[in-house]
Amino acid sequence: MSLTLHGYWRSSAAYRVRLALALKGLSYDSVVHDLRTGAQRAPDYRTLQPQGLVPVLDGPDGPLIQSPAILEWLEERYPNPPLLPAEGAGRAVVRAMAAIVACDIHPINNLRVLTMLRQDMGADDVAIGRWIGHWVREGFAALETLIERHGAGYAYGDTPTLADCHILPQVYNAERFQVDLSAFPRLVAAATRLRDRTPEAAPEMQGDAA
Amino acid sequence: MSLTLHGYWRSSAAYRVRLALALKGLSYDSVVHDLRTGAQRAPDYRTLQPQGLVPVLDGPDGPLIQSPAILEWLEERYPNPPLLPAEGAGRAVVRAMAAIVACDIHPINNLRVLTMLRQDMGADDVAIGRWIGHWVREGFAALETLIERHGAGYAYGDTPTLADCHILPQVYNAERFQVDLSAFPRLVAAATRLRDRTPEAAPEMQGDAA
């Protein structure tokens, strides 16, 4: 049964899904939507994703939206290798780490929010940079604490999990916006380890990379 | 095994957890942290929740953070009644609905973000109201479309799910900020149905309600 990922090379939510697909050894077709031109807001695409956002993963259960939901679906449908620990306490920690990125860092720094800050709040590049750095540092500080408690090379333990699938794309974003990450050595080390393991998932390796 | 919920009556993330506990018929102790005085940033509490946010659910697997992770833990630990459908496609839809609230509405309108908008971007009450309304309407429009496709009294089907546990607290927030919800009749009906079924979880019924 074939899988098709609707994404954009620089979308960190699409990058999360590419990482899970790579770790599970799943092949897929790519359809790209250029966020810079608003292609994801076209009516045809909105029938797949009513928010007009990437990614969508289309497959045996129809078009799936929202990367945290897509990752849980991949984990249930293709359980090997697992990206969640087996026991309840560990599963809760990994999902919490993922949620720190997916709920408390990324959405606040997303393109559509930055656009509204510029257009409606009059934010300039300096204010935008301060805004992005603030939310990255807040979330990464909590993650560094959790990785110190639970990590062993990766964010949780010594194999990659859904937490790492969220953290690496957020590190990629933070580097793009030149956020100083020197206070988060364990987090950066885990992200680097996953990046080295999954070169095919990297933004710059996608067909639509500019 | 006893459960203790660290929360605040008006926190919509804590409200999500109260709803799941109520639907599963689980009793718990409450510890309240007054967000208006910054009690959640006290060092003792930060050992439980390194971000200094509510909620935390403390129980047999230790202190759990991040409401989406807590809800998944509750579902796995106390599977009856289920708050996720049995089949993969339905689980993905319910989780996506939950993520639209948890990732794409609530974090952008959270107290800490509004405070930064006021302090760092110079936003006044009018600008804050416009900001909140914008993100609620964007997310609720997508949810209304999904509920039209999948709902039958509740957001997905005819029994409450994790989607409803996210939607009702967001409706509560939207009403607080006087967002016009007339364009989302199915969403409001599902939220009202869950509110009527779980009066004990309502913000105004909590011991710390002002």
Give the model confidence (pLDDT) of A60-93 as tens digits.
999 999 999 999 999 999 999 999 999 999 999 9
According to DSSP H, which parts of chain A are helical? 12-23, 43-48, 67-77, 88-104, 111-121, 125-150, 162-176, 185-197
Give me chain B's average pLDDT, please.
Answer: 97
Handedness of CA B80, B86, B92, B94 (dihedral sign): negative
- DSSP code of residue B64: E
Q: What is the pLDDT of residues B106-146, one digit of tens each?
A: 999 999 999 999 999 999 999 999 999 999 999 999 999 99
DSSP state, residue A210:
-
pLDDT, tens digit, 9 for 90 and up, residues B15-73: 999 999 999 999 999 999 998 888 888 999 999 999 999 999 999 999 999 999 999 99
Q: How confident is the model at residue B59, as a pLDDT?
A: 97
In the block, tokens 């949780």 appear at: A156
Provide the 3-class DSSP secondary structure of residue A21.
helix
Predicted pLDDT at A40: 86
CA terminus-to-terminus distance, chain B: 31
DSSP code for B151: B
Give pLDDT, residue B4: 98
CA distance A185 to chain B (A): 17
pLDDT in the model for residue A105: 98
Nearest CA in chain A to B48: A146
Q: Torsions phi, psi of B151, nearest 5?
A: -85, 160
C-alpha distance from A130 to closest chain B C-alpha (Å): 9
Question: Are A142 and B50 a contacting pair at CB < 8 A?
Answer: yes
A-chain residues near B73 (CB < 8 A): 88, 91-92, 95
**Helical (H) or strand (E) element with B45:** helix B43-48
**How distant is the Cα of A16 from the closest Cα of chain B, in angstroms?**
14
B60 token code pair: 């047999």
Number of Cβ within a 10 Å radius of residue A135:
22
Distance between CA atoms of B139 and A52, rounded to whole angstroms? 11
Query: How many other β-carbons are positioned within 10 Å of the β-carbon of residue B25?
Result: 9
Measured between alpha carbons, how far apart are the two ends of chain A, in Å?
A: 31
Contact B92 A72 (CB under 8 A): yes
Asked whether A164 and A189 are in contact (CB, 8 A), the reply is: no
**In this structure, are strands B4-7 and B29-32 parallel, antiparallel, or unpaired?**
parallel
Provide the pairing of β-strand A56-59 with A62-65.
antiparallel
CA distance B167 to B191: 6
Q: Which of B65, B60, B71, B62 is nearest to B7 (CA)?
A: B65
* Bridge partner list, A7: A32
Q: Residue B142 and residue B155: Cα distance in Å, rounded?
A: 12
Do A61 and B92 make contact, defined as CB atoms within 8 angstroms?
yes
Q: How far apart are CA A185 and CA A191, in angstroms?
A: 10
Q: What is the pLDDT of residues B190-202, one digit of tens each?
A: 999 999 999 999 9
Write out residues in chain A with pLDDT < 70, as ranges. Answer: none
User: Which chain A positions have a beta carbon within 8 Å of B156's beta carbon?
Assistant: none
CA distance A71 to B210: 40
Collapsing DSSP to helix, strand or coil, B46 comes out as helix
Residue-wise over A55-64: b if at least 16 C-beta within 10 A, else e? bbbbbebeeb
Other C-beta atoms lying within 10 Å of the C-beta of residue B66: 29
From chain B, the residues in CB contact with A98 under 8 A are 69
Q: Residue B202, Cα to own-chain centre: how many angstroms?
A: 11
pLDDT at B156: 98
Q: Which tokens sit at A79?
A: 């359980």
The pLDDT, as a whole number, for residue B210 is 82
Tell me the average pLDDT across B89-96.
Answer: 98
ipTM for the predicted complex comes to: 0.98
Number of cross-chain residue pairs from A and B with Cβ atoms under 8 Å apart: 127
Phi, psi of A72 (to 5 degrees): -65, -40
